[in-house]
Every structure is written in C-alpha cells, then in structure tokens.
Copies of this chain bind each other. A is one copy, B any other.
C-alpha cells in the first residue's frame, strides 16, 4: 500500500501540473445545453443529480489528461439529498477510473468516536451485516481542526491505515478567515498554532518523498502567512484554494511550494468548470473547461520557472 503523499506527488509529476480542479458543480450554474436532456426525469432531485453527474463526466473527460486530481465540494451534492450523494460517489468513481486522485472537500471534524465514523465513511470501510465495504472510497478529504487532536487523530489513523490522506484547514482563503485564524496567542497566530499541530499529527505518515499524508489547506490569498506556514509544516503538502475567482494570482501561490517547486497543489473550481460563462459558448463547456485548465497549468508553471524553481 503506497503512502498518499507519494501517490499525489507522483501524479503531479506525471502530469507536470500542480493543480487540482474543483467540481463545485452547482446545479443552478450548469450549461443550458446540458440541462436540456435531463429536464423530464422522474423525481426532481434525481433529475438534478443526474444532470450534475453528466456534467462532471464531460468535465472529467476533458481534463483527465491535464490534471492529476479533482476535488469534489460536498455541499453542492448534499443539496440534492441521497440522489446528490449518489452523484458525488459516482463522480468520484468515474474520476478514479480515469486515473485521477479524488479529494472530497467535506471539512468534517467532530469528537473522537464521531470523527472515526466520518473517517471510515470517506476513507475506510463501513461495518455491514456481513463484513465491511467502502461507502465513499475517496483518496483524501479535508478536515476541520477546531475540536483539536482527539477530533483529528481518527482521520489521521484511517488515512495511514488505508493509504489515503487528509488536508487539515489551517489558513483558509476567504476574507473573514482572519477573525479566528489570525488571533494572536503570544508570539503565534491561531493558524500557526494549528500548523504546529498539523506538523505533529503528520509525523508518522511521511512517505518516501519526504511529505506526509497529513497535509494543510493554506489559501493563496494570504502569501505572507503561507511563507511562515511553509516553514512550520515542512512535511505537509499544501492544498491551496483562492487562486482565480477568489483573487489569488500565480505569484501568490509560490510561497506554498518548497524550494524545489514541489509540496503544493493549487485548486481552481468555478473559473475552470464554468469557464463557458465568460466565453458564452454554452455547448462547448467541456472544451472551455479544458482550455481554462491548461491556461492555469501554464500560468503556474511559468510562475514557478520565473521563481527559479524547476520541479520537472
């Protein structure tokens, strides 16, 4: 069983692309050309979910040779109840079949016994009448650290035992992340204290390439914080939201990488999957997404090279 960090870094190298596309496939933003075929399906939740799955399959087909991984934002699927959750799982299975690593952006976190249930749901196996089986079977999920070690450790253990990974929220990309994450406690911000915890949680999950299966979410919108956090968590892969529509540029993500240009993966969601909204080419939404994913790859690669980093 391979370490998750090794798997992810190898996938990044194979595609020469440290980016991950977020399938935040908000039903209300799906292209009219695609929606047409699904309007008359029976149950309205099933119809919406089927449309989301069809959209995701087209996007995955279009980007599978460009990017190493996709991230599924659970909220947009949970909106459609059981049908939406089924579309989430089927999207994940489809992406895996196409060779992509799948990160579930679920931001779960609870007290110990409950976190263990979430961990087995998303990364491990669920107990059935007869044996056990994967419910979601993801490669990785995002985890909220607010409850501390006993709320996070079950995820760490499950990740290590299954060859999967987690990204713990450290410094998020949104404007008000400062309210709690930037509170100063002595010489450190809260997010730096969380970073110290992440560093310790990940210590026993370091793979052959020097990175841990316990990574960190660090937003592209706060490059100064990223620089400090990179030093506090030398073994954590950074999952970097905030590039693109949230305002982060390619230069802003540079502090998230290590000196070799490795150790980070940059996320973009709406700007890629809904690129068709800018061009107006509704029926060519998949091609537009592919073009946007390639532009993002080129943009980040150029910034890395100009910064003197040669990851490939």
Query: Which residues of A are interface residues toward B (Cβ below 8 A)?
Result: 24, 26-28, 35, 38-39, 44-45, 47-48, 73, 75-76, 78-86, 89, 105, 107-112, 114-115, 117-118, 120-122, 126-130, 133, 135-136, 144-151, 169, 172-181, 183-186, 190, 193-194, 197, 241, 246
Query: Once the chains bind, are A126 and B79 in contact (CB under 8 Å)?
Result: yes
Query: Once the chains bind, are B79 and A121 in contact (CB under 8 Å)?
Result: yes
Cβ of A186: which chain B residues have Cβ within 8 Å of it? 184
Cβ of A86: which chain B residues have Cβ within 8 Å of it? 81-82
Quick one: which of B73, B76, B81, B176 contacts A89, CB cutoff 8 A? B81
Q: Return A265 CB to nearest CB of chain B, in Å.
A: 18
Query: Once the chains bind, are B174 and A150 in contact (CB under 8 Å)?
Result: yes
Docked complex Cα distance between A114 and B127 (Å): 31
Cβ of A183: which chain B residues have Cβ within 8 Å of it? 183, 185, 190, 193
Query: Once the chains bind, are A47 and B129 in contact (CB under 8 Å)?
Result: yes
Which residue of chain B has the shortest Cβ distance to A142 in the bound complex? B110
**Contacts A78-B117, A148-B179 known; 15 new A-B pairs at CB < 8 A:** A28-B127, A38-B129, A73-B110, A75-B117, A75-B118, A75-B121, A78-B121, A81-B136, A82-B83, A144-B144, A145-B146, A148-B181, A179-B197, A180-B197, A183-B183
Given A83-B82, A176-B147, A180-B193: A128 and B44 within 8 A (CB)? yes
Q: How many copies does the complex hold?
A: 2
Cβ of A35: which chain B residues have Cβ within 8 Å of it? 129
Cβ of A133: which chain B residues have Cβ within 8 Å of it? 44-45
Query: Once the chains bind, are B176 and A180 in contact (CB under 8 Å)?
Result: no
Docked complex Cα distance between A78 and B179 (Å): 31
Query: Once the chains bind, are B180 and A79 in contact (CB under 8 Å)?
Result: no
Query: Once the chains bind, are A39 and B76 in contact (CB under 8 Å)?
Result: no
Which residue of chain B has the shortest Cβ distance to A40 in the bound complex? B129
Query: Once the chains bind, are B45 and A75 in contact (CB under 8 Å)?
Result: no
Q: Return A41 CB to nearest CB of chain B, in Å.
A: 9
Docked complex Cα distance between A85 and B146 (Å): 25
Which residue of chain B has the shortest Cβ distance to A84 in the bound complex? B135
Docked complex Cα distance between A105 and B109 (Å): 11
Quick one: which of B44, B130, B135, B176 contacts A78, CB cutoff 8 A? B135
Cβ of A181: which chain B residues have Cβ within 8 Å of it? 146, 148
Q: Return A178 CB to nearest CB of chain B, in Å.
A: 7
Some 15 contacts from A to B, beta carbons below 8 A apart, are A24-B114, A44-B129, A44-B130, A45-B128, A73-B110, A75-B114, A81-B89, A81-B135, A82-B82, A85-B85, A105-B110, A144-B144, A146-B181, A148-B177, A190-B190
Docked complex Cα distance between A149 and B178 (Å): 10
Cβ of A127: which chain B residues have Cβ within 8 Å of it? 27-28, 48, 79
Given A75-B121, A110-B75, A114-B24: A151 and B126 within 8 A (CB)? no
Query: Once the chains bind, are A108 and B111 in contact (CB under 8 Å)?
Result: no
